[in-house]
Structure 1
Amino acid sequence: MRALHVRHIQDSLTRDYENLIDLTDYEGKPATQRQSAFFSRALAARAIQRFTDMSPADAARSVVDGFGDNGIDALAIDEENRRIVLVQSKLDNSGNAGLSQADALKIRNGCGDLFNMRFDRFSPALQARREQITAAMSDPAVTFIVVVATTGRSGLPNEASTVFDDFLSEVNETDPVVSLEVLGLKEFHSMVVEGTAGPSIEITVPIEQWGTVDLPFQAYYGLVQASEIASWYEHHGDRLFSQNLRKSLGNTDVNEGLTATLLNQGQHFWYFNNGITALCQSIKKTPRGGATHAYGDFVIDGVSVVNGAQTVASIHRAGKKNNEALSDARVWVRFISLEGCPPDFSIDVTRATNTQNSVENRDFVALDPQQERLRRDMLLSLHKQYSVKRGENPPAEADGCTVEDAVVALACAHDNTYYTVMSKSSVGRLSENTERAPYINLFNGGTTAYRVWRCVQVMRAVELDLQNRRPDLYDREFAIATHGNRVILQMVFNQLNLEKVSAPQYDWEIELARVHAVTGAVLDALIASVEESYTTSYLAPLFKNTAKCRHLVGEAQQKISSS
């Protein structure tokens, strides 16, 4: 039966990808080799479709398999959701083989080389996309899905599983940057039977304190335990959001805040969160729970979360860190049945629930009297604009800055590596509470308009200087200049005369003129320190680790002093 299912998958791949998969490197080779290469590459393209909205043609173009592919057969950049999908495909005609330890190590090593931007170790097809990949990986919020696509068994043998467990533990040391998905014979055959989108999702949901709306359209609402919602995402992934405007956005500041609340204040989560709205094809209550509204089990078919994707993904992420923390958390959920609804009703609900104005940290920051004082002083003393409220047009760089600019610049100028790392990995946490640190250490009565504007000037000068240097840097040096930009900024501030930063009469152009030389010295020292102390470390998570960054700053500053 397994071999038959493999043939079903191969027939489907032939139908969908014939004449789309590039096989020019197999010209003149035996037909059996060309066919094997086609199926392996088409399988990788199918996996890309599973995790993106790509067409078969676009998915086929994402294939980078070839001589020296270094364990990556396909790579797709999902710009909307700020993530990169990496696929290694293994064709197994028997349908019974498992992934070997050697294959797992090859995938791990290939991912490591990519994370460290060692592009020379990959196939020409991947190297041709170097600029696009580099731009995507320069986003500090980017996440990765590593997909093992095989027509063999879905479960990983212990040896391969250990390799991936160690790999994920290392790269996710500070943030959940990388996730692993295994698509085996069962999953690929289901795609053939049901289509690449997968079968309709049916879930059985225990709802507490439930209620119902019968007119004009049926809906149920109530409280659902967070662990239950985590299991939805565990089993169905982003397919839960098939009708939503967007999928999970990964490690955004808001999502990190949701995760932190779940882990630290699970019993309060219902009060702090707006909840989840899901559409479905039908809702049926089971006899369990009887007539009482205190508790009920509901069978819900054709589920799609149309508002609350970030809540669902954040709950799942928190459960990965500490599943027990979810036991006290409840989430407000409403299920709207589409039975008997007008044809466009689902679109109307999706649009309406996703276009309401949200409140962000910046809105609360705007209420702080210190910000109004700075806005006024910036205008009167420096003739510069300081944009604090959302909706205001941000000024041109020569004319002023925004409060977001100020937060990052002041954090790195504070000479506290914890704040520096936060400005890179979760900048929103710097201003999430205007009544306590770190915010009050950045913005207080001693924070002058001169300090804000001059720190922003330095930040922009350093970023421009790094931007100009990157074309001459390669591989890990490029990655250090990209992912380590905030650490570099902190060390540049350390070399400037910040004692004069608030002095109105001081000619700050003297300090700005030093930025180019200082940035170069700092970059060289940081590169040397990384290669001495963290030769094998993945660079993106390295610069989100406070302890390691503090050590790097100390080592690099010693090198600068001694030179």
Structure 2
Amino acid sequence: MKRLWVRHIREALHTGFADHIDMSDYTQASDSVREKSFLSRSLAALAVQRFTELSAAEAAATVVDGTGDNGIDAIAIDALQRRVILVQSKWDGSGDGSLGLGDSRNFTAGFKDLLDTKFDRFNARLRAQEAKITEALDDVNVTFILVVATTGRTELAAPSSAVFSDLLDEMNESQQVVSMETLGLSDFHSFISEGLGGSRIDFNVQLENWGTVSEPYEAYYGVVTAASVANWYEHFGDRLFSQNIRKALGNTSVNEAVTHTILKDPQHFWYFNNGVTALCESVKKTARGAASRTFGDFSLTGVSIVNGAQTVASIHQAAHKGEAGLNEAMVWVRFISLEGCPDGFATAVTRATNTQNTVETRDFVSLDPEQGRLCTELVLSLKKTYSIKRGEPVPSPEHGCTVVDATVALACANREPSFTVMAKSRMGSLWESAEKPYRTLFNPTVGPYRVWRCVEVMREVDATLTRLKGQLDGRPRSICLQGNRLVLHLVFRELDLQRIEDPEYDWPSELKRVPMLTEKSLTALTNSIDEAYPNNYLTSLFKNITKCRDLVQKVRSGTEGIDQGTDGK
């Protein structure tokens, strides 16, 4: 069976990618060598398609395999989901192989070089994407998926597995940044089968407290146990989301919250979660329970979940961490029958259920009277506009700021570095609670001058770092970009903030010091990182509260006169 599946995949790769994979560097190679390279590159492109909506030609363009690839065979930037997919692929004709220890080390080393923007260590194919990759790396919320793609075994040998485990432990020590997927023979065979009409999903479901909508199109709704939902994903995986605009996104903060609720607070899950919407070729009510709406059995054919993919995947993840809450947690579900629906209706439902505006933590902040007070005082005291709600016009820099600007600036001005880390990596956490940290930043003692002057410092630091960025490359440049908020915090610690609320204070003179202090802080921070954390991944370093607090202490202990006349609260 393995060799048969390998042959199926080989034929599918030739059919899908023969006209798209660049093989210009193998013109002098033997047919067997060229064929193996083509299959490995095509497999990398197919793996990219597994995580994106790219066409065959677009996926083939992500392949960077070749001399000097530094362990990375394909790299795709998913700007919409703010993630980077990196692939290492190995074609195995036996169906039994796996990724070796050397290849595992090369892959992780290449990933580290990429994070440090050491593009000189990569070939021309990857460097051609340098601008897009750099832009993605500059995004503090970007996540990474490392994909091992092979036509062999899914399970890695213990030494290779340990290489990736060590990487994930370091990168994800403070929050989820990197995830790993291993795609083997069975995964790829299932994937190509989906394109041959073999992906229809049929199953039966029991709905509790069910109801129905008959006009204009038939649909049924009710609740099911989380255990049932986990079972769907266990059997069908991401095939459940064949018509969705996105597949499961891995370990995002939202998904982690879903999993936490299932495990720790299952009785409230229905209240906290929006549930699942699925399109079906048909929905049939069976005879069982026909006289009652308490329970009803339904036969579903051609099921595709178009909204709630993250809920389903998170429930499945919770199932692997413990089954205690799965039977207690209830999930709201809708099954829409496409029988009798007009052409295009399925697409319209998919688009509509995935593009409705979501409520963000910022929206709740707008209800706080303190924000209204600051808005009024900024206008009356400084003639500055303060934009609080999403959708409001954003004032030009000289005429005002937003609540986002104010939150980041005030957080970095606080003496506690943990606020700076949150401003960099988990912005929403600064708004989530009515107590700490939100009340530390926004309370009756915080006036308009403090808000506006802190924002001015932030903008001056950002402008200086933008200028310095053009003079740097490699790891120092990455520190300049990813450590920008910690630099801002260090600058605030050197400024005299005791009189920041005083309208008569000679603030312009203090502000003039900021560019010099920014350069000084960046240099000191870079030196401290090189000394204390030379091998740390910068992406995760600046999200680690303990290490950032340590860096601040090291920088300040090595700088004379920092504490003279500072308050920084």
How high is the TM-score relative to the length of structure 2? Answer: 0.90
Residues in 1 aligned to 2:338 and 2:178: alpha-carbon distance in whole angstroms: 36
Aligned to 1:462: 461
Shift of 1:400: 0.5
Q: What are the superposed Cα offsets for residues 160-211 of structure 1, whole Å, 9 maximum, x if unpaired? A: 3333333323222222222222222222223333328982344554544333
SS of equivalent to 2:470: helix
Q: What are the superposed Cα offsets for residues 244-296 of structure 1, whole Å, 9 maximum, x if unpaired? A: 44555677776665555555534323222332222122335678889765455
Given that 2:283 and 2:298 are in contact with CA atoms closer than 8 Å, whether structure 1 keeps it comes out as yes
Aligned to 1:367: 367
Shift of 1:416: 1.5
Residues in 1 aligned to 2:321 and 2:510: alpha-carbon distance in whole angstroms: 45
The 10-residue stretch of structure 1 (407-416 or 270-279) with the greater mean CA deviation from structure 2 = 270-279
The 10-residue stretch of structure 1 (514-523 or 226-235) with the greater mean CA deviation from structure 2 = 226-235
Q: 1:382 to 1:335 in 2, by over 3 A?
A: same
Q: What are the superposed Cα offsets for residues 290-311 of structure 1, whole Å, 9 maximum, x if unpaired? A: 9765455655443333333444
Q: What are the superposed Cα offsets for residues 118-169 of structure 1, whole Å, 9 maximum, x if unpaired? A: 3232222112222210110111211112111111123333333333333323
SS of equivalent to 1:333: strand
Shift of 1:109: 2.4
The 10-residue stretch of structure 1 (39-48 or 208-217) with the greater mean CA deviation from structure 2 = 208-217
Q: 1:480 to 1:208 in 2, by over 3 A?
A: farther
Residues in 2 aligned to 1:171 and 1:197: alpha-carbon distance in whole angstroms: 39
Alignment pair present for 1:188 and 2:192: no
Aligned to 2:443: 444
Residues in 2 aligned to 1:530 and 1:50: alpha-carbon distance in whole angstroms: 37
The 10-residue stretch of structure 1 (118-127 or 232-241) with the greater mean CA deviation from structure 2 = 232-241
Q: 1:437 to 1:529 in 2, by over 3 A?
A: same
Shift of 1:59: 1.0
The 10-residue stretch of structure 1 (368-377 or 353-362) with the greater mean CA deviation from structure 2 = 353-362
Aligned to 1:490: 489
Residues in 1 aligned to 2:531 and 2:443: alpha-carbon distance in whole angstroms: 39
- The amino acid of 2:500's aligned partner reads V
Q: 1:507 to 1:204 in 2, by over 3 A?
A: farther
Residues in 2 aligned to 1:271 and 1:150: alpha-carbon distance in whole angstroms: 42
Q: 1:492 to 1:109 in 2, by over 3 A?
A: same
Given that 1:210 and 1:296 are in contact with CA atoms closer than 8 Å, whether structure 2 keeps it comes out as yes
Q: 1:150 to 1:246 in 2, by over 3 A?
A: closer
Given that 1:253 and 1:426 are in contact with CA atoms closer than 8 Å, whether structure 2 keeps it comes out as no
**Which stretches in structure 2 are left out of the alignment for 5+ residues?**
563-569
Residues in 2 aligned to 1:326 and 1:554: alpha-carbon distance in whole angstroms: 45
Given that 2:173 and 2:540 are in contact with CA atoms closer than 8 Å, whether structure 1 keeps it comes out as yes
The 10-residue stretch of structure 1 (195-204 or 64-73) with the greater mean CA deviation from structure 2 = 195-204
Q: 1:350 to 1:191 in 2, by over 3 A?
A: closer
Given that 1:384 and 1:400 are in contact with CA atoms closer than 8 Å, whether structure 2 keeps it comes out as yes
Given that 1:77 and 1:83 are in contact with CA atoms closer than 8 Å, whether structure 2 keeps it comes out as yes
Given that 2:51 and 2:247 are in contact with CA atoms closer than 8 Å, whether structure 1 keeps it comes out as no
- The amino acid of 2:69's aligned partner reads D
Aligned to 1:514: 513
Shift of 1:484: 1.7
Given that 2:176 and 2:252 are in contact with CA atoms closer than 8 Å, whether structure 1 keeps it comes out as no
Aligned to 2:565: none
Residues in 1 aligned to 2:234 and 2:399: alpha-carbon distance in whole angstroms: 48
SS of equivalent to 1:473: coil
Aligned to 1:547: 546
Q: 1:71 to 1:206 in 2, by over 3 A?
A: farther
- The amino acid of 2:273's aligned partner reads N
Shift of 1:102: 2.7
Given that 1:71 and 1:110 are in contact with CA atoms closer than 8 Å, whether structure 2 keeps it comes out as yes
Percent of residue pairs bearing the same amino acid type: 53
The 10-residue stretch of structure 1 (488-497 or 159-168) with the greater mean CA deviation from structure 2 = 159-168
Given that 1:85 and 1:147 are in contact with CA atoms closer than 8 Å, whether structure 2 keeps it comes out as yes
Residues in 2 aligned to 1:520 and 1:235: alpha-carbon distance in whole angstroms: 56
Shift of 1:523: 1.2
Aligned to 1:95: 95
Aligned to 2:378: 378
Describe how 1:8-157 pairs up with structure 2 within 5 A. Answer: 8-157=8-157
SS of equivalent to 2:558: helix
Q: 1:414 to 1:298 in 2, by over 3 A?
A: farther
Q: 1:356 to 1:113 in 2, by over 3 A?
A: closer
Q: 1:64 to 1:387 in 2, by over 3 A?
A: same
SS of equivalent to 1:176: coil
Q: 1:288 to 1:74 in 2, by over 3 A?
A: farther
Shift of 1:315: 4.6
The 10-residue stretch of structure 1 (103-112 or 385-394) with the greater mean CA deviation from structure 2 = 103-112
Given that 2:361 and 2:432 are in contact with CA atoms closer than 8 Å, whether structure 1 keeps it comes out as yes
Aligned to 2:567: none
Q: What are the superposed Cα offsets for residues 70-126 of structure 1, whole Å, 9 maximum, x if unpaired? A: 221000001111111111110111222122233223222222332333323222211
Q: 1:153 to 1:314 in 2, by over 3 A?
A: closer
Q: 1:73 to 1:347 in 2, by over 3 A?
A: same
Q: 1:365 to 1:148 in 2, by over 3 A?
A: same
Residues in 2 aligned to 1:182 and 1:312: alpha-carbon distance in whole angstroms: 20
Aligned to 1:534: 533
Aligned to 2:452: 453
Q: 1:66 to 1:289 in 2, by over 3 A?
A: farther
Q: What are the superposed Cα offsets for residues 463-513 of structure 1, whole Å, 9 maximum, x if unpaired? A: 222122122222222222222222121111111111122111122222221
Q: 1:319 to 1:397 in 2, by over 3 A?
A: farther
Q: What are the superposed Cα offsets for residues 42-89 of structure 1, whole Å, 9 maximum, x if unpaired? A: 111111112111111111110111112122100000111111111111
Residues in 2 aligned to 1:259 and 1:491: alpha-carbon distance in whole angstroms: 37
Shift of 1:431: 1.1
Residues in 2 aligned to 1:232 and 1:511: alpha-carbon distance in whole angstroms: 62
SS of equivalent to 1:561: coil
SS of equivalent to 1:498: coil
How high is the TM-score relative to the length of structure 1? Answer: 0.91
Alignment pair present for 1:163 and 2:163: yes
Residues in 2 aligned to 1:507 and 1:171: alpha-carbon distance in whole angstroms: 44
Given that 1:219 and 1:336 are in contact with CA atoms closer than 8 Å, whether structure 2 keeps it comes out as yes
Residues in 1 aligned to 2:276 and 2:412: alpha-carbon distance in whole angstroms: 37
Residues in 2 aligned to 1:81 and 1:90: alpha-carbon distance in whole angstroms: 27
Shift of 1:11: 2.2
Shift of 1:238: 5.3
**Which stretches in structure 1 are left out of the alignment for 5+ residues?**
none
Shift of 1:379: 0.9
Q: What are the superposed Cα offsets for residues 421-467 of structure 1, whole Å, 9 maximum, x if unpaired? A: 1112211121123x311111111111111111111111111122212
Given that 2:386 and 2:402 are in contact with CA atoms closer than 8 Å, whether structure 1 keeps it comes out as yes
Residues in 1 aligned to 2:542 and 2:94: alpha-carbon distance in whole angstroms: 44
Q: What are the superposed Cα offsets for residues 358-387 of structure 1, whole Å, 9 maximum, x if unpaired? A: 333222212211111111111111111101
Aligned to 1:414: 414
Given that 2:266 and 2:329 are in contact with CA atoms closer than 8 Å, whether structure 1 keeps it comes out as yes
